[in-house]
Structure formats: structure tokens, C-alpha cells
Structure 1
């Protein structure tokens, strides 16, 4: 079995595949195919019959395809060498730009996890159609060909499929499930709407039936930077369509099915269960089989409110000092800038220009290093992408504040952010955190500071301060709240970063047992 037999279908535990199959047969649909159950003596009245007694000596031929050429493989296959890479190894491969080195590493690699990471980097640098030269002068072997090879091997090579590699290869190959359109329509006709991606917005909303190609385009536009997220989003949509038909009560009270948020809840539940960080739990989710994901989704929907609270607890911060002794200071130069005249085109425009130019304030990188001395680490960018994590112990033991390699590592994380104004707000948040730790040299934060979470709460608090009556419907206004936040002055932004930090530490205190 894949997870073993569960105890109780309503207790949030994972049922066995055979019990799930029986439940689907009883509900009348099995993998979206209509099924009718009944006694054999009743069904036989309408069934067709065919006698095949004359086939006693029949045997299938060993190879129904004559003279087929075996599919050529160009990468080394050695299942004994397959093993997950560390996030620092993945980060190094992500940053590598030497084409010859990448191709040489790929040619000699025996680890399918390393092979997919190398191909990911090659696709980003040169595209799917790039000729790797692995077929010599006679045969063109492209990045796409090698990805298809890894995709097939990942599903068949080991004792069980390497699901994280399958998802990554499928994402890099832009694969889309042809039943996706039917799945989305099944959800919509039952009065629900759908959003895909990490943040709610009008553009990410699906309110009318669409083709699988259109749905895939929307997923590509709004999903996380991790390519596997696009494949997992397709899976979740298909599972939601099955659950809404077989157990509609699970989705009662949810008008909008926010797929990105459901992935976040699944991750937080795993993180709490395994006692790991959110990005590590996300990796574990990606290693899970489709059946495991489906059953976790069912469990998550069954205990929706409890999982929401778990997420809040996971994102909280714990400080070792009493809050009343912390000096919450706004960066002096930000105070001065805040007194100035609003720049032409307002603060949004200035942040876009500064973010696009890649500017950072004076002594920015040493200040980020200083922040790392006061916490377990920083996550800069998508919070579920483990390559975005800076581990304090590792960084401080290996690098100095003014070291170029450290500056390049932080810059790489900032440069991955697609929106320049968001990049700039991250820089402002880091500078404000540096001001706080400079003013409070004994301050110790026990967890990783996740900028995605910190800034998200700053945006929410700024919006609700202005529109307190919209607190219970904040998700509907999230896109507008972000637009408004980008238009605030640096001094206001710094103030809300402080309020968000205080909020997260208060949640931390409330969750201590």
C-alpha cells in the first residue's frame, strides 16, 4: 500500500487505495468514468455476451511490434546513485552559467535528481530546442529529448516513481492533462469559482469554462517560481473535481477554491506533522504520490479551520527578549526620505525604477549579514522555494559581511523576483530589520524570517487600518491592498514592517503552550 490503511475516513487520516477505489465505485464515478454497481443476475439482463472457449491455444506474441528500434537513452542510468540534492547544491546549479561545465556534468551524472536540475538550468539558459551534442554529429539530441528521457525513467526506473522528478520534468516539458478542462467545468457548474497561483487576483480567477490550453496558460502566469507547482496545481484541480462530485460537503462554505492557498495548507500540515520548515515540507509534498496528495487534500478540506490555525502558528516568530524592552526604530535615512516631496509618478513609480535598475542602499549586503546574526536565517522570495533560504549558521561560518560571494547570493535571490516594486519592498524590509537589530544588539529570533510572510502581513495591516470594515473579506481585496502598499512612502512601509513583525511575535506568544 502507499500509505497503509487509515483508521477512520472522518478523522483526517489517510485511507488505503483499495478503500478509496471502493468509495469511488459506490459514488458512481471511477477516475471520471461513470460506473454502475449491481448484482450480477441483474446486470446480466442488459449485458452483452461473447463466448471465447475456442481460444484455449491462443498466446500473445512476445513482441506485437515488429522490428521496433529501442528508444535510445543518452544519460547514465544508475538507480543506486539516485538521491535528493541539498538546497545548497541546487542553488549552485541554478546559478551556474558555464555551458560546457553544465553539459560535461550532465554527461557524467549518474543521479537522476542532479540530471533534472542540470536540464532545468540548460532550459533556462538555452531553451528546449538547444542541441546538447549528446547524439554526435549524426543525431540532434535536444534538451527536450533529454527531459523526455528523464521523465520516462523517473516513472519507471526505481522501486516506485521519483514523483518530484516526474513533476519537474512534466513542468519543464509544459505538459498539460487533457482532462483539465472537464475538471474545471465540473467545479464551475457546481457554483464554485477557482483561483490559481500564490496570490488572489481578478486575473487569476477562473469563472467560466476554458480549454486545457487556456487553463495551462493561466497556471503558468500565476503559479510559484518552482516549475513543479504548475503540475501540482493541475493535480489539485482534478482531485477537487472528483471530491466535489463524490463528497460535496467537503467544499461547503468555500465559494472560491484557491488552489495556491490549498497547496500552502497542505504544506503547513506536513510541516507541523514532520517538524520541519515550510520549504522542506513542500519538498516532501512534491515527493508524494498522486494518491497521497489526493488523500491529504481530502483530509485538509475535512479539517479546514484547524489547518488554517496551523499555518498561522507555523508562520509566527518567537523572540527571546520581552517585547516591551525592544526598541522599535524606523531607519533614520528612511525618516529623512519620508519627509521629502513625493517623487514624480509617486512612490510606485520610484520603486519600479529603483527595482528595475537593481539599486541597493549603501552597506546593504553587510546589513543583511547582520540580520542573519540575529535569526535562524532568511527566506527571500517565494517562501516554499528552498533555494531561497539563507541559513544563518552556514553563511556566518563560511562568509564575511563584505564578501562578494555573499552579496552575489543575496542579489541572485532579489533578481529572481519578477516585479521590480516587490523587489524594492523586500530591500526596504531588510533595511528596516537591520535597523531593528542594530538598535537591539541582544535581539534573538528563534525562527527563519520569511520576507514573503512579513511583507504580506504588512500589506494586510496597512489595508485594514484604512478599511477596518473589510477585515472579514480581506482576500477579495488582496490585489488592491498590494497596489495601495506599493504607493506608500518608505517611512510608512517601514512602520508597517514593524507592525507585521510585532503581529507575528504576538501570534508566536499566543501559540506557546
Structure 2
């Protein structure tokens, strides 16, 4: 008999440890592991981590097998792993109804349970009696399911189980916007059952999605049907949110040791090594002690001060747990594994030695990892005085199976029984290795042959849709519908992926569907309901943003490919030239560099060898569930569509579904027949085909099939509204006179004095002015409702239909003011409104809509469904349709900015959209030297691209100027925004945003002052002449028919223009910073310190109590939001900012050797004290009353608002004096005086 090798003996020793500490507790029926002898339930997370060492040991035996019995041991260990993983799968499959509900609701009541019965796989507590929603636990199970399958284990047995795993991926794919209870099951640090977004959950979900994507769950024996798919856009959303959060773990936890699992083994979810190192250093410096690491600061779990009889804490008692938090050896096992994977032998040795010193040794020689070490009850005061000084005692589970498993894993790796690659077969450990530069491939498609020739004249050689056969191009919404079939299983009651938009990462691949190659256009070109895509400048701006996003986020094999169609709407009005913005973009793309990315332009067919391909095998014809209509007459069914699959033998129901899916486009424009991409909107003409399609769609389980069919089949044909508008292709020069040709000057009334609606409808038919038609339809909308039939051309001419027609025409003329107004009346919603809201919230930004104060200003702190969000916006806007539609637009632009430039939003935790709109109008009023009402009208008339540009400049903090200009083509007035130099202010002086009035000497190269005045006068006179000839709606007594402007915005009095470029500069800066909630870096941490030296800060009657510091730590986002909430009670942004400056001066006292600076400090009194000193000094210097005019709402001199912080008469000078005087009264006698 052959003797055992040394390695074999050691492996047998580890097998004994694993059996004694883990496997002997495994249930023989379910395969699950109980928490402990007194906690018989099976936690998902603990079970998965516990079995990892068994899996690792099986790999080690298989690798180092001396004898056949070693291979037998390896197999036995493997089957123990399979049994446990399948046990968890069985638990989940008993709750598939919850998986299905949660995909749509994301509610805590619909979540999978966190623990189950070890003996039966049944649930053990009710939905509302435990913090069940723990996305990281479900993600961890899926992650190791992928790793173990990749290592050769066969865990998933049937196609039904494949569909379950696919739906679990849908369950976790939105982790970046799901607030859960986290890996410690308690949610918010206060342990009061409040959910929050956790970095540990997002990171584990990202890792699981990446690990499972394109993995065959049947292993080497599987076919295309057992492959699961993840969407790259969801993965990258998780990545961006995770990056923006770390090293913070959540809103209430500024640091959490549990994050070690995502920055290192097992997840390796973070790609930026600097963030990994920064997070690790935060954890070690703030949480590490002599016995391990605390879970997070002020963690009361099992401390002597915790009351075990209460489930929740009181907020104020969190301070009691400071410095006595229990220390967990578990986290040293993570740091040992981290050292192994990063080849840091010193780190491995350091933590192995430290860990060995605190393990519990049994009589049989086995070393156990205890759950935690706690401060003895009689040593608490000593530990308070000298942290980490007293000897602690082991408490809780011994061993903690989770920690024991990772300890054994670390031993196997450090002693060479396993290589890191063997327990990481999917190569997660390489996530931080820098990726090569991405080359973005762009293929331009012409809608028609005419556009192709037009592009060729400009030196751009492209193809039309007909040229690219057999590749089929579709809009992105089709891909969303295709993915909705993924994971669908009627036997299990699973409906597949919820219909959601597919981002640019998803549309930048080629897809093989039933042996046919598809390419999809980006989602931003697919706006059917909203007006952003009507602006060509906005389209190219979104293209630039998407290309920049692709170049930084693309992680797949092959290059990304964007298919960009050039349509009729991208031409000038006379259809003879390309829109200048589009042409300029195409030229830049040709140059090979655009949006910060390398570009390769070419034809789609040229990109096959270098592109990324995805094979959507779940759409392949299966043996059951899909029925073919063999006897149907398919004549003409494919004619007129982009992909004419009727040429193929497999022209079946799916092909027709994909074709007819495109027929429900926006209201049809009355244009000549177009070919190519125009066929996207072609409507089927045969009722027979439609009925056949409906039957086939039902077989495909396509829901709401009516919405995909042309409306005319199901509705009475409505004659077009004859608005007698000039043809959009007519010369633009003649338009103003034609539009203003109406000579009617009053509203028609009947004998009783009431409005004669019949005559009003006739007036609607006769008038040629777009604005007048909108005004009349607004009256009908307010008085008669949307569905009132005007009978303008017989039955069916409802107000809604006429508004839709007018919307089309306003879109052709690019009349943005009208477009927004009609959009508001039609209750149009941005397609990705809820997505934009969720993106902002996921970046830990709260949103407010409406103008202050509360309750008019509504706060959004958690994602809400689109319809509820739209209703909330309407309510907060006081049902002002202009404000409501603008709020939606601004929300989308903020989301676009935070995705690409999150740094713009640093130190801003609440985005107040109402105030941002007010500030934008104020900027225009000041820069264009016009009234508030005119500025509001101008704001509403800006094109989407101009509005986004204005918002970006306001956010950016750079100097900029605004000038009025007139578009050559568009009906709306325009502005031009340009950067200015540091006129009159150094960079260090600019605390926030500042805009300087343009110095005419600097501007004379652009336009002379007299030219600008003439331009302004001609613009104003043309507007007045148009207004004088339009319908006079202002003579209606009640005024309720007046089209709503944004007068409710209460635009502050504009600063008069002056030759001095500094005049009004600081008032404007404070107004901007106050509206944007922008504060200096480190401001909130300083506020926390000053609160420890007083009883609280009072701001306009609202108190920020010192007890807040007992509940929250200085680095918590939760604390910052709390301070912000109190400051936001102040409605005037410039006054708010002066209060911030006063608090900043106060915080200087935090470092002074004073125990206390009084009871409650009234910050507004300090500001008024400073104001009085300033006023007195200015009077002494001879300033008159006009110069020293006070703001009636606050009593503060406007001149103080406009003072620079520094200097002899600077605001900080007076605030410092005021603080010294104010605090002096509260100092105890004998204390050192503050000079």
C-alpha cells in the first residue's frame, strides 16, 4: 500500500476541519446548513459562503489526488456543494411568485426571503417580520452558481431551472436603484427597519450579472437554449453608481467592512484600482481593531450597551456604541484572501499571524473562527476613554461557518493547494487591469437615395437601407420587445424581462436572431412621444454623449458599432442641404475622433469581423409553444418593411411580429411616399393581415398587441385638420406674414355674453397663426375637455386629435414654445422620465420639484412609477403645464449630466428643480436685460439643446455670457452662450457659479453694441407686431384662459447692467449657489463639529439640534441631507447662501479651545447683526438710501448680497465681527475672549 504524501496528509487535515465545522451540520434532505444550534434557520448568504471551502477542498483533492479514494473524496465533496446550491434553488423556486412581482414592484413585501427552514426549504417568518430584501444574498448565490458551473459542477438540471436563473438575473439587474436591508439585515444604521441603497448589494449584483452573462448553465453538455443573458447597460449602471458611492457604503454608513467582499474576493466588482485602495484604507483606518474589524461605525450589535429585548434602537443612543463596537475576525479572512489575490505576501503574513492569535483552539486541535469579540460589561468606561485598550471576549456563534469557510479557503490558497485561477474560473480577479482604448465603429445610413447623394456631395459615402441587405436595421424599442421574451415560462408563471429601454451598450452589438443579422439604432433616436428628438442639435449632442459613454464603459469582446440613420428631419427646411449641426458632426466622425473617443466610420458589412455579436437563441423555434400558420396567405405581408423576411422560407409569426411592431409610430405626417428607413412607420393595409397577426401575437404571448397596430384599423378615419398652414417646405421668409395673417381681435360671444364655441371652432378653421390655433385649442381644452368633438370636418375631430396635428406642425417649424405648451396639454411624458429620476436618486441625490417652501415643493427620495411621478410633477407645478413639462425636461438633462460628469454635482445632495428653473429664467432676464415675463417666454422658447447648454453652464461653475440671436430657420428666438475669461475675478475667488456681464470692449470683435441693440429692437418689434395681429385672449374677464406662463416663478428683480463687470456679480453667485445647494467642500463635517459645542443651530425658526451628532457620524450623507433640509426651509437662495457663510464662520470656533459656545445659536441673528454693521459703515461713507435698499422679505441690504466675501467691506469680514459679538454673550466668565 502506497504511503500518503505530505500534501495528502494536509488535505486530509483540512477535510477533517471542514467536516467537523461545516459538513456535519448539513441537512441530509435539503442540503442546507443551519445558522447555529440555537438558530436552526438557513440563511442564504451564510450557506453560500460556508460551502465555498467545501468546493475549494474538492478542487484541491481533484488536483492533488494521490489515490482513487482521493478522487472519490473530491466527488463526494462536489456533490455536497451541488446539494446545498440546489437546496437554495429549491427554496427560491417555491417563491417564484415573489420573483415575478418584484421585477415590477421592487417592494420589500415582494422580495425573496433571506432565510428558510433547514429541514423543509419553507419560509420561517412572515414577509413583514424580517428584513428579507437583501439583494447581495441573492446575487451571491447567483455569482457562485456561475463560478461553480464554470469549474465543472452540474447544478442546474432542467430548462425550467434555466428560466428561473434568468428571472433571478432580472430580479437583481436593477440593484443600483433598489433600497434594501443590506448584508447586515438591518438597513439604515439606526436599525429601525429603513431600507437604503447599499454598495455591497450593488457590487455583488454587478459581479453576478457579469459572471452569468452568456454562461451555459448546463456546462460543456449544454446547447444554445441553456445560455443566460445579462444586459450590459444594467451592469454599467451598477458600475457607475458603485464608483460614485465608494468608499461610502450607504447613506447612513460612511464606511462598512462588508464592502471588502466587493472590492476584492469574491466579487472584484470595482474596476478602478485607486477606488479599491482608497476604500480598503478607509476600512482599515476607521474600523480595524485588535480582534478584527467593526462592521461599521456605531454598530450596537451584541455590545454591552445594546438592549437585547428591543428590536430597534433609539436614534440618540447610537452615540453609546461609539468606540465599543464589536470586532469581527471574519474581515481578516477577507484581507488574507485580498493579499493572496494581489500577491501581497506581507499582507497575508500580517493578517494570518493576527488571526491565529485570536482563534479559539479546541481539544482536538481544530481552530475555530468566532463570530465576534465584545468589550466586557465592566470594562466599557475604560474602553470609552482608551479605545482598543481592553481585553475582549469572544461571543456569538463559534465557529461562524462563514468565517471558518473563508479561513480554510485562505489556508488552501496560501499553502499552494490551489491557485487563484482555480477558484476564480471566470477571471473576476483581473477586473482592475487597464483595458485597451475602445474604438467606436459608426455606420451612417441614408433614409433615401436623395439623402445618400446629398451626403456624397459633402464627401461622405454611405449606404441606404436597401444596400445593406441581408442586415436588418430596427429601432431600439424592437430590441426591448425581443428581450421581453427572454426567460418567459408559462408553466412557472414567469413573464420574462419587464419591458424596459435598452441603452447604447445593448444597441451597439449585432444580434443573430434565427440566422438573421440585426442591427439596432440607438434609443435616443427613438423618441416617439416626446419632442427632444425634433432638435437636431440635441440629437448630435446625445450622439456625442453616447459615444463618450461607450468609449469609457464598453467591456465586451469586439468593438461597439453605432448605426446612425440620416432622415428627412435632419435636412434644412428646403430639403436641399443637411442641417449644419448634423453635417459638422459627420465631418468630425470622419476625422476619427469625436466625444473624446476614437472613431472608425464605415459600412456595416465592413464591421463584421471586428464587432461584438450576440446570438439570441431563446428566440429560436422550439418544439412547443410556437405555432405556425401554414395555411395563411402571406402575400404582401413583408412588403414595404425594412427586413423582408418573406423571401426566406422561415417567414413566420415572429418575423411578421417584428415587422408590424413598427406600425404604431407617432401620428403620421402627410408627406409624400418615402422609402428606406421611412418604412419604419409604414402601416399594413389589409385587415386580414392584421387579424392574422393578432392571432399569431397571442400565440407568442405578446401582450397589448393593439398598441403595435396602426390606429386606423380600430378607429374611425379622421379627416385631417385643415389649418390652412403654409407648407413646411415653402420659403421660410414668407412664414411670419402668413402666420400672422389673422385679423380677428376678440373672442366670439353669443347674445348672453358667453363664449360662442361654434364660432370659436370656425375661427380655429380660418386662422393661420400657429399661436392663435394653440390659444383657441387651449380654451376648448380648459372648457370642454380633451375628448370634446369639434366636428370641424365631421365626426372625430376631437380637441386631442387637433392638438396632436398642431404638435406635428409646430415640430416642423421648430416652434419650441408651442411644442412644450401642447406637450403639456397632451400630458406627454419623457420616455425615460422614471429612469432619469432613478439615476439621480441612485447617485445619492434627492430631488425636489416645484418652488419652495414646502408643502408646495415636493421631495423625492425613492424611485416611483412613471405615472405617479408625472402626477406628482403636475401637483408640484400647481398644474401649470409649462412648469410641469419643463421639470421633466430638466430632470432628463440632469440625469444625462450626472451619468457623464458626476463631478458637477459634488457637495450637492438635493437637486431643487423648481429653483433651477427659476435661476435659468433669472439668468436670461439679467443677461438679456428684459422683464421676468419676457425671460420666462424666452426660456420656454429655447430649443432643447440650448436649454441643456444653459443648464450645463449654470452647473459647471465657469464664467459664461448669454446673448440674444435670431435663428435663420426656426420660428423661436434663440440665445447664444459663450465662455468668458476670468473677468474681474480670480479662480480662487469663485466659490460657486459666477457670470460676468460682457465687457463691450472685449466683445467688439463679435458684434458691436449698436448692432446688438438694433438686433434686440428688431426682435422685440417683430414680436409685438405678431402679437398685435393675433387673437386677443387677454380681454377675457376671468383670466382663466390665459396661457400659463411661469409668472409663479417670482423671478427676482434683475441687476441693472453696468459698465462695471463686477456689479451684481456676487449677488448672482449667491443666488446660483443657494439654488443649487452648493456649499464648500467639507462644510457638513464642520457643521457636525460645531454642533458638539452648542445645543443646536437655529435657522429662521428651524432648529438643527446637537443631538444629531449622537445619531449620525460626520461623514454620513444622511447627516448632510439633514443639514440641507433645514437650510432649504429658507426660500430665498441668496439669503440661504449668506446663512451658509455665517455658519462657515461659526465653524472656525470648532477648533478653538472652548468647551461650549452657548445654547442654541440663532444664525439669522448673526446675519442681521452683520447687516446692521455693514449698513452703518456704508452710511458713514456717504451711501444714499437707494444704494442701501433692503430686501423686503429678509431685511438684508442688497448691497451686502453683492459684496465679495473678502476685503475690508466683504461679507465675511462683517460676519466674523458679528459672530465674535454674538458668541461673546454666551461665553462663561473667565473664558478666553474671541477677538
Native 8 Å contact 1:219 1:233 kept in 2: yes
1:476 corresponds in structure 2 to 1128
1:117 corresponds in structure 2 to 775
Partner deviation per Cα, 1:442-466 (whole Å, 9 max, x = no partner): xxxxxxxxxxxxxxxxxxxxx9665
1:20 CA displacement: 6.8
Match of 1:75 among 705, 720, 723: 723
Partner deviation per Cα, 1:352-382 (whole Å, 9 max, x = no partner): xxxxxxxxxxxxxxxxxxxxxxxxxxxxxxx
Structure 1: how far apart are the matches of 2:799 and 2:718? Answer: 20
Mind listing any 5+ residue stretches in structure 1 that lack a counterpart? 1-14, 312-404, 418-422, 427-462, 480-497
Residues 24 and 47 of structure 1: is their aligned pair in 2 closer, same or farther, counting only changes over 3 Å? closer
Residues 297 and 217 of structure 1: is their aligned pair in 2 closer, same or farther, counting only changes over 3 Å? same
Partner deviation per Cα, 1:123-173 (whole Å, 9 max, x = no partner): 11111111112123xx221111111111111112x2xx1111111111101
Q: What is the SS of the residue equivalent to 2:1129?
A: helix
Residues 299 and 29 of structure 1: is their aligned pair in 2 closer, same or farther, counting only changes over 3 Å? farther
Match of 1:103 among 761, 770, 779: 761
1:230 CA displacement: 1.3
Residues 90 and 292 of structure 1: is their aligned pair in 2 closer, same or farther, counting only changes over 3 Å? farther
Residues 465 and 38 of structure 1: is their aligned pair in 2 closer, same or farther, counting only changes over 3 Å? closer
Query: Is residue 22 from structure 1 mapped to residue 548 from structure 2 by the alignment?
Result: no
Structure 2: how far apart are the matches of 1:141 and 1:19? Answer: 37
Structure 1: how far apart are the matches of 2:823 and 2:747? Answer: 21
Native 8 Å contact 2:721 2:793 kept in 1: no
Comparing both structures, which one devotes a greater share of its residues to helix? 1
Size of the aligned set, in residue pairs, is: 324
1:271 CA displacement: 1.3
Partner deviation per Cα, 1:293-332 (whole Å, 9 max, x = no partner): 1111110111398898889xxxxxxxxxxxxxxxxxxxxx
Structure 2: how far apart are the matches of 1:61 and 1:163? Answer: 26
Match of 2:1192 among 488, 501, 506: 501
Structure 2: how far apart are the matches of 1:245 and 1:62? Answer: 32
Partner deviation per Cα, 1:40-84 (whole Å, 9 max, x = no partner): 6999445359xx9xx9xxx85997557698962232213723369
Q: What is the SS of the residue equivalent to 2:830?
A: coil
Residues 62 and 244 of structure 1: is their aligned pair in 2 closer, same or farther, counting only changes over 3 Å? closer
1:508 CA displacement: 6.6
Native 8 Å contact 1:272 1:310 kept in 2: no
Structure 1: how far apart are the matches of 2:746 and 2:995? Answer: 29
1:214 CA displacement: 0.9
Native 8 Å contact 2:740 2:768 kept in 1: no
Structure 1: how far apart are the matches of 2:950 and 2:748? Answer: 32
Native 8 Å contact 1:82 1:111 kept in 2: yes
Residues 92 and 265 of structure 1: is their aligned pair in 2 closer, same or farther, counting only changes over 3 Å? farther
2:948 corresponds in structure 1 to 294
Native 8 Å contact 1:163 1:289 kept in 2: yes
Native 8 Å contact 1:269 1:307 kept in 2: no
Structure 2: how far apart are the matches of 1:96 and 1:250? Answer: 54
1:47 corresponds in structure 2 to 612
Structure 1: how far apart are the matches of 2:741 and 2:908? Answer: 37
Native 8 Å contact 2:840 2:846 kept in 1: yes
2:803 corresponds in structure 1 to 147
1:232 CA displacement: 1.2
TM-score, normalised via structure 1 length: 0.52
Q: Looking at CA atoms only, which structure, 1 or 2, has the larger radius of gyration?
A: 2
Query: Is residue 243 from structure 1 mapped to residue 897 from structure 2 by the alignment?
Result: yes
1:174 corresponds in structure 2 to 827
2:47 corresponds in structure 1 to none
Residues 107 and 248 of structure 1: is their aligned pair in 2 closer, same or farther, counting only changes over 3 Å? same
Residues 62 and 46 of structure 1: is their aligned pair in 2 closer, same or farther, counting only changes over 3 Å? closer
Residues 121 and 416 of structure 1: is their aligned pair in 2 closer, same or farther, counting only changes over 3 Å? closer
Aligned 1:177-188 pairs, distance under 5 A: 177-188=830-841
1:122 CA displacement: 1.1
Native 8 Å contact 1:201 1:478 kept in 2: no
1:210 corresponds in structure 2 to 864
Structure 1: how far apart are the matches of 2:852 and 2:797? Answer: 38
2:408 corresponds in structure 1 to none
Aligned 1:457-476 pairs, distance under 5 A: 466=1101, 475-476=1127-1128
Native 8 Å contact 2:834 2:865 kept in 1: yes
1:186 CA displacement: 0.6
Structure 1: how far apart are the matches of 2:746 and 2:899? Answer: 40
RMSD: 5.0
Structure 2: how far apart are the matches of 1:221 and 1:16? Answer: 28
Native 8 Å contact 2:1191 2:1197 kept in 1: no
1:504 CA displacement: 7.6
TM-score, normalised via structure 2 length: 0.23
Query: Is residue 266 from structure 1 mapped to residue 920 from structure 2 by the alignment?
Result: yes
Residues 96 and 119 of structure 1: is their aligned pair in 2 closer, same or farther, counting only changes over 3 Å? farther
